[in-house]
Amino acid sequence: MKILHVVAILFVSLTYISHSFAQSEESATERVEVIGKKPKQFYLKEYKRLQRNFIASYNDLVSDREMQIVCEMEARTGSRVKNQKCQPRFVSSIMAEETSRLLAMGRSHAQASNLGESTVVKKRVLEKFNEFQKLNSKLMQKHPDLAETYNSMTKALSKYEEIKTVNKE
């Protein structure tokens, strides 16, 4: 009987010790909440990531190389700062063709470099752009995942522009 009594006391003691040890570990754990805003660069990186995904998916679906989207790093005249410029390949092809044509006619590089104002170039680009938009519409209808990626990309850009505007104020 004495042994049973000792075992019972030992059991109760061990249970109490393990219970109090577990409670002390729980009380040592604190809950910390952090409230803040994501930096605007987060939204810009998200937009660029979605843009790369969209362009890769889009170009995989388009067989006509002229209708594929290409991105290049380009500096504005008089600046060394380069920004990414993405556009359908046909835009740069038309610009190159017109530049070659003007140079072959004996025009100066200065005249050839001002092609953005040329009505001939604007007309050719607009015609191709209409084809480009029709192709985009068909692809978006045929491939809902491409449309979803596009929508996510435009939402990310809108969010970045919103944050950028708020931070200026």
Banded model confidence at residue 122, pLDDT cuts 50, 70, 90: confident
pLDDT of residue 110: 60
Tens-digit pLDDT profile for residues 64-79: 999 999 999 988 888 8
Average the pLDDT over 99-107 and give the result. Answer: 78
* Residue 69: closest CA among 84, 90, 49: 90
Distance CA 138, CA 141 (A): 5
> Structure pTM?
0.69
Distance CA 77, CA 28 (A): 62
